[in-house]
Amino acid sequence: MKMFKTFGLMAVIASGSLVEASEYSHSMRVNVPFAFAVDGQHFAPGEYDVRETASGVITLQGEGKAVAVISIPLASPKAGDVSSLRFRNNAARDLEAVALEGEGRRGIPVRASGERKLTFAAK
C-alpha cells in the first residue's frame, strides 16, 4: 500500500509540472543591447526569455531578474509577422509591445513616470 501512495504522489507532482509547462503558449529568447524598463522595473542589457500565456500574461526573465505583466491585444496576426519587442523612445526605454509570431501584437501598459515638471516664473 505504501508503494501505491508513493507512486500516486509522484504522479501528482509530475502532472503539476506538465500543467505548468503547458501554461505558456509561446516564447522567444531575445538579446536586448541596451538598458530598458518593464512595469517600472529596470533591466540591464542582456539575454531574456519572453513568454506569453494563453490568458495574455507576459513574463520576461533573464540576467537575474524577472517580471510578469498583463498585456492587452493590439493587432491580430498577419502573414509575415515576426516575433519582436517594441520599446518606447524615452529615457527609460519602456517595453511597450510584444509580438510573437502567429499570435499578433500585445501591448504592455507603461507605468506613469514618477517625474514631475515644475515651472518657475521670474518676478
**Whole-structure pTM value:** 0.67
Could you tell me which of 17, 46, 42 has the C-alpha nearest to residue 34? Answer: 46
Encoded amino acid at 31, one letter: N
Q: What residues form DSSP beta bridges with 32?
A: 46
- Per-residue pLDDT, 22: 45
Check residue 63 and report its DSSP letter: T
- Per-residue pLDDT, 100: 84
Strand 104-107 with 65-70, pairing: unpaired
* C-alpha cell read off for 102: 502567429
| 9 pLDDT higher than 60 | no
At 103, the pLDDT band (50, 70, 90 cuts) reads confident
The set of residues, in sequence order, having a beta carbon less than 8 Å from that of 110 and lying 6+ positions away, is 88, 94, 96
Q: What is the pLDDT of residues 44-65, one digit of tens each?
A: 999 999 999 988 999 999 989 9
Residues 4-8 have a mean pLDDT of: 43
Check residue 109 and report its DSSP letter: P
Residues 82-91 have a mean pLDDT of: 91
